[in-house]
Amino acid sequence: MKYILVTGSTEGLGLAAARSLMDEGYEVILHARSSSRSAALAAIAPRSAGVVIGDLGSVEETRSVAQQVNRIGRMHAVIHNAGTYGESRRNSTPEGHAQILAVNTLAPYMLTALIERPKRLIYLSSSMHRGAGTSLRDIDWVERRWDRDSAYSESKLYVTALALSVARLWPDVLSSAVDPGWVPTRMGGPNAPDDLTQGYLTQTWLAVSEDAAARVSGGYWYHRVQQKSTPEALDPDFQDRLMARLAELTGISLL
């Protein structure tokens, strides 16, 4: 049985990916931030293999999500789709982390470490990761003046480096980063120019396809075309320093 977890599946790319996978007959685990948000899944939840609930901005609730998933069984694939953008201020989480770092980077890192190792991992990146600063001194924006776009870009650089680091460290797992494009979702806005369908179908293709291209680990993808990420995301030294910093912030080691 091929279980596939899609985080952030109450709307947008995550919901579209979950629906597509269920239509193809896969056992999809849905995720909602809260019980109230899970109401958005009422139409498709009966067809799913379960719904896990937890706010990925909270370390405690992220741990709970991992525990809920592990109780269901080993995943074939995890699509780390959940993300946030447009934070006008730092917005601290219960543990004091910047919300955008917690949801976009710390949560996928924690879930990667805590969920029983699947066969495939897909992480949502963004073309904006190419404009990110590469210093790891203040990744949690404790000292710097808040900059919404810079914080988002950095969080996507970190999750891209996470995806490529996992590909290097876990050779038995297919790990990929995906740029879905600027697509018309709640986050992207109604006038976003990219193709929503291609955005989510790239995720589902990497999660289940037996095509040779989809079985290449360590790729950075845009609309099923492999592209180059920033050199830093590919750099083992940067990856190792980032993994150490994320372990320090979460108290969880990836290895």
User: What is the domain class of 3-250 according to CATH?
Assistant: alpha beta
Question: What pLDDT score was predicted for residue 87?
Answer: 86
Q: How much is the pLDDT for 1?
A: 76
In a 3-state reduction of DSSP, which class is residue 60? helix
At 206-252, the pLDDT tens digits run: 999 999 999 999 999 999 999 999 999 999 999 999 999 999 999 99
* 27-32/50-53 β-pairing: parallel
Active-site residues: which are they?
152, 156
Q: What is the pLDDT of residue 35?
A: 96
**CA dist 223 → 61, 117, 226 (Å):** 32, 26, 8
Which segments of the chain does DSSP mark as H helices, in order?
A: 12-23, 59-72, 99-101, 107-114, 148-169, 196-208, 231-234, 236-250
Q: Dump pLDDT digits (tens) for 109-154.
A: 999 999 999 999 999 999 999 999 999 999 999 999 999 999 999 9
Domain range summary for the chain, segments of one domain joined by +: 3-250
User: Using one digit for the tens of pLDDT, what is the confidence trace for 81-115?
Assistant: 999 988 899 999 999 999 999 999 999 999 999 99
pTM, two decimals, is 0.95
Q: Is 226:74 a contact under the CB 8 Å cutoff?
A: no
